[in-house]
Homo-oligomer: A and B are copies of this chain.
Amino acid sequence: MSVTAAQGFLAGGVSAGLKESGDLDLALVVNRGPSRAAAGVFTSNRVQAAPVRWSRRVLADGRISAVVLNSGGANACTGPGGAEDTRLTAERTARAVGVGPDEVAVCSTGLIGVRLPMGRLTAGIDAVADRLSADGGEAAAVAIKTTDSVHKTAVAAGDGWTVGGMAKGAGMLAPGLATMLVVLTTDAEASAEVLDAALREAVRTTFDRVDSDGCMSTNDTVLLLASGSSGVAPEPAVLTAAVHAVCQDLARQLVADAEGASKEIEVTVLGAASEADAVEVGRSVARNNLLKCALHGEDPNWGRVLSAIGTTAAVFDPDRLDVAINGVWVCRDGAEGESRDKVDLTGRHIQVTVDLRSGGSSATVWTNDLTAEYVHENSAYSS
């Protein structure tokens, strides 16, 4: 159901010829109102793609009427010409759907450093605007795929209102978001301020805690659009919970479909002196290439977990660290605990638990294993 699960939204996806494969590569999401309130979160990478720079400005007044998204080219590191391409994309979309260009957010994903074929793109915009429908959410979700093997959608139902969303992201997944484009929609009534608070809270513990390969993108964008067409204004906390549920669902789909991944790894840090400490340790463990290789090989190599913890500035005593892998406490007091032979790593899901024994805070970071397929995809595919 994707972005059209909520009332008041139309969407569509077409092949504009941006991808050589001829697959769908251009998506459009339109908010028909009555509200156009919106919120967004963007990459924290200082090298930001032209569409990110544009969409930040569009969102400054808390209003978005339409989002146009293309795969087949990131329009990042493309200089003043790339910025002009984004402006033209927004203007063409605005004309096609009858809104102002300053109400149109733009998202692009694909190869960095290459200009978009604007002739094909603008023709595609007209084509997708002609095919908008209340059932178009699936096509839009398909059109934003890059190396994704499946398209990703999620929905959470409120009491008379709905939050829906679509995401793309497969490689370059890291904090400060990932190579992800996410559009969330709701027919709830909510101000831009409420949407912004809900989105930031939801992203903080979902997309921002996905760390596939430690690499941060130039194009990450998460947008939340509210049409208000349900006529229901849920409590902010209730809305936040629904947005969080959709983000959580999509974030897990991103990790599950990460390039070349054969294991989904959940790193939970307990007993931290602060949430920041828990996140720092979780990220360090989740980013450790050696551990990710070991888990790929179904080797419960807890020494690599301790090595990773040791590189952080978190509060802990090296001689009081406990580590469990899939529930078996293989490390106790910084040394060998239960037998590693008890650990079963044959399944796809792996749970690494670190107890810092230094406080009451915790956090979970999601990642995946490092595989030969990851190397192959990223040495063969120029993205």
Contacts and interface: CB of A to CB of B under 8 A. Distances in A.
Nearest to A171: B290
Contacts of A289: 213-215, 289, 370, 374, 378
Contact of A318 (B46, B82, B331, B377): B46
Given A78-B335, A172-B307, 17 more contacts: A48-B318, A74-B303, A77-B302, A77-B331, A79-B333, A82-B335, A112-B303, A113-B302, A113-B336, A215-B307, A215-B308, A217-B307, A289-B374, A293-B377, A293-B378, A371-B375, A372-B376
Interface residues of A, number: 65
Interface in A24-56: 45-48
Contacts of A293: 374-375, 377-379
Contact of A45 (B114, B213, B290, B310): B310
B297 A379 contact: yes
A269 interface: no
Q: Is the interface of A mostly helix, strand, loop or mixed?
A: loop
A343 interface: no
B290 A46 contact: no
Nearest to A309: B47
- How many copies are assembled? 2
A134 interface: no
Given A287-B214, A318-B47, A303 B375 contact: no
Contacts of A46: 309-312, 316, 318
A307 B79 contact: no
A216 B310 contact: yes
B47 A306 contact: yes
28 contacts: A48-B318, A74-B303, A77-B302, A77-B336, A79-B336, A82-B335, A111-B303, A112-B301, A112-B306, A113-B335, A172-B290, A172-B307, A213-B289, A214-B214, A214-B289, A215-B288, A215-B289, A215-B304, A215-B308, A217-B307, A218-B306, A290-B378, A293-B377, A294-B378, A294-B382, A296-B379, A301-B382, A372-B375
Contacts of A379: 293-294, 296-297, 299
A306 B43 CA distance: 14
Interface in A146-190: 171-172, 176
Contact of A215 (B290, B296, B382): B290
Interface string A356-383: 0000000000000011101111111010
Contact of A311 (B111, B216, B318, B321): B216
A334 interface: yes
Contacts of A301: 112, 382
A76 interface: yes
A52 to B, nearest CB: 11
